[in-house]
Amino acid sequence: MPHLTSTTAGTTSTGIRTALGVPGYAHPLVAPAQWAELARPGTPLDWVVLNVAAGPGTRPDPHCLEAAGRLRNAGVRVLGHLDHTHGARPLAGLLTDAHRHLDWYRVDGFLLDRTPADRAALPEVRRAIGALRSISDTPHIVLGHGSHPYPGYAENADQLVTFSGPWSDYRFSQAAEWTADYPPDRFCHFVHGVPLGHLEEALRIARWQGAATIYFTDRTDRGGRSDPWETMPGYWDEIVSRVGTGVSE
């Protein structure tokens, strides 16, 4: 089951234990209160992604090191952001960034963002995952497909992001049939533009589709002009309460 903080995430009548996976906030200097909030005891977190500057940056950042250390001390898994650029990123570049994440911020694993999802790319992605596992002790690997990939990817990573997008698409989405062969803690859903009045509906969709790690926010991408993940949702306390207690109406 996912690594949790001192208060376990909620278990609903569906039997799914739900936790929050945070795709990565703005730099700790820009959003210090939000990073501090993540380290609050009892927050039902599975992991938090550290994205310094489209990856680890070019030099160690003491503010990011402090933020990551505060989370680890609170029992929260920290993942380093690696941009896979839909498979176009050379393995050497991925490994350079991975080593920097490990050496500078002592991350517990990696989110490979923009990972390809087709069958043809699977051998190269498998090679990249093998290389990442060879440079770290039992790293937690999350593949950020953003949609349902070819089923073989599930055999190579700890978790797959099988949805990343707007609420307008999520509310009518369906899980691929093959996902039923795996436990819910293998799947993550990231949804932006979720109104407070639809938060419980969004949580039910995640449970029905068998995704145990979620991140819902009322922030939007404003037509691609902003990052909806860089700041906390306006209803942070509400979603923490619902996920932490497993409330289901």
Give the pLDDT of residue 1: 35
Query: Fold for domain 19-76+87-235?
Result: TIM Barrel (3.20.20)
As a whole number, the mean pLDDT across the chain is 91
Segment 17-31, tens digit of pLDDT: 899 999 999 999 999
Q: State the Cα–Cα distance between residues 150 and 40, nearest whole angstrom.
A: 37
Residue 246: per-residue pLDDT:
61
3-state secondary structure the chain: CCCCCCCCCCECCCCCECEEEECCCCCCCCCHHHHHHHCCCCCCEEEEEECCCCCCCCCCCHHHHHHHHHHHHCCCEEEEEEECHHHCCCHHHHHHHHHHHHHHHCCCEEEEECCCCCHHHHHHHHHHHHHHHHCCCCCEEEEECCCCCCHHHHHCCCEEEEEEEEHHHHCCCCCCHHHHHCCHHHEEEEEECCCHHHHHHHHHHHHHHCCCEEEECCCCCCCCCCCCCCCCCCCHHHHHHHHHHCCCC
Distance of CA 39 to the CA centre of its chain: 16
For the segment 196-216, the average pLDDT, to the nearest whole number, is 97
> For residue 188, what pLDDT is reported?
98
206/194 Cα distance (integer angstroms):
13
Give tens-digit pLDDT for 133-162: 999 999 999 999 999 999 999 999 999 999
Residue 230 C-alpha from the chain's centroid: 13
* Model pLDDT, residue 247: 45
**Is the model's pLDDT at 214 over the cut of 90?**
yes
Question: How many Å apart are CA 3 and CA 167, to the nearest integer?
Answer: 27
Whether 11 has a pLDDT exceeding 80, the answer reads no
* pLDDT of 222: 80
Q: Is the pLDDT of residue 206 over 70?
A: yes
| pLDDT at 131 (0 to 100) | 97
The pLDDT-based confidence of 15 (bands split at 50, 70, 90) is: low
For the cut 80, the answer to whether the pLDDT of residue 220 exceeds it is yes
The span from the CA of 137 to the CA of 66, in Å, is 22
Residue 51: per-residue pLDDT: 96
- Is 80's pLDDT higher than 50? yes
Rounded to whole angstroms, what are the CA distances from 35 to 6, 14, 50, 72? 18, 31, 10, 12
What pLDDT was estimated at residue 147?
97
Task: Enumerate the domain spans of the chain.
Answer: 19-76+87-235
Task: Identify which of 188, 157, 204 has the alpha carbon closest to the alpha carbon of residue 23.
Answer: 188
pLDDT of 194 over the 90 cut? yes
